[in-house]
Amino acid sequence: MTCTLLLVDDHALIRAGVRALIQDIPGYTVIGEANDGAQLLEQFHALQPDMVLLDLSMKHTGGLDALQQLKAAYPRCKVLILSMHTDPQLIMCALEAGAHGYLLKDTTANELEHALRALCNNERYLSPAIAHTVINQALVRTQGPTAPAGHGHNLTARQLEILRLIVRGKSTREIAHGLGLSIKTVEAHRSQIMKRLQIFDVAGLVLFAVREQIISLDD
């Protein structure tokens, strides 16, 4: 089945470039475009796409505001941030606001395909180029006076290994290949990890992994 996409960026040239990249990826098609948050809501309501590719820097409604408005109206919609910004606080805010993935605009077509596939498979995706940045920001937060205390876990050694790879931004396919497991096995472990921890987003997993010293900046 084809996964339908809505592109949201206030630069027509950027939208054209992303559309051209997606046209070369089997199984995905762009069914609409918007240049600000207001158009995003209108287009999403009219087209009901499977996924939104959203820029964070737009002239009228900012990307974060647009994301919050979209998730408030359509909480189950999938959103992939496509941005040039690497500011750790901005990335964490986007993830906490409901983004399912974060990809840099200088990414390759291959990484874009990985991210699209992950979201279409109900997974999260974090660009490997910013994984270290997100971990660093999570570490800063856990060192603050209001940081929640660690609550332990009952994950198996294999699940801990997979959690470390998820936090680093690895896709299910990459984890399966690296560990010599099937994709279905990794998906089952991922589901069990989230259910056991009751954490269902990348930002939460990163915070947990750093707080419990499962991963560090040196990993």
Q: pLDDT tens across 114-146, in order?
A: 889 888 888 888 887 787 777 666 666 555 444
**DSSP states of 37-60 as a string?**
HHHHHHHHHHH--SEEEE-S--SS
Gyration radius of the chain's alpha carbons: 17
Residue 194: the pLDDT is: 85
Residues constituting the chain: 219
Residue 137: the pLDDT is: 66
Residue 27: the pLDDT is: 94
CATH (residue range 135-211):
3.40.50.2300
Give every residue of the chain whose pLDDT is below 50, as ranges. Answer: 144-151
> Do 3-126 and 135-211 fold alike per CATH?
yes
Residue 207: the pLDDT is: 73
**Sheet order of strands, 51-54 included:** 28-34, 3-8, 51-54, 78-83, 101-104, 125-126
Domain 3-126 CATH assignment equals 3.40.50.2300: yes
Residue 146: the pLDDT is: 41
